[in-house]
Amino acid sequence: MTTPTRPVWSGLWEQPGEWVRDAVCAEVGMPDVWFPTADKDTFSIQIAKRICRRCPVRDQCRDYALRHEAGYQRYGVYGGMSPAERRKYADRLESS
Ligand code: SF4
């Protein structure tokens, strides 16, 4: 088993891969819950994270967001994680 490493931005904007076809959020709608207007809109964030839990492409989504943290992916819920949770996850990967 390999240890995951922090996904790194290549410097080029990358289109999401074929995995987006299986994104549960694309079927659900309600974009506001993934991008609440306030960072502390915990109710919306909890709804988004709950939906993400049953998404088959959660890992790909999280890694895509981590590779693009310099862009708008630094906001909102991706891969079932809030921005703060993604930062902590990335820090853990870097220190492991
Ligand atoms: S993990 Fe969440 S945000 Fe990412 S594609 Fe799946 S449902 Fe959408």
Q: 25-32: long-range contacts (C-beta < 8 A, 24 or more apart)?
A: 25/51, 25/52, 25/55
Give the predicted TM-score (pTM) of the model: 0.85
Per-residue model confidence as pLDDT tens for the chain (96 residues): 566 777 777 777 788 889 999 999 999 988 888 888 766 678 999 999 999 999 999 999 999 998 888 766 778 999 999 988 998 998 898 887
Q: 35 alpha carbon to ligand 1 midpoint, in Å?
A: 12
From the alpha carbon of 78, which atom of ligand 1 is closest?
Answer: 3
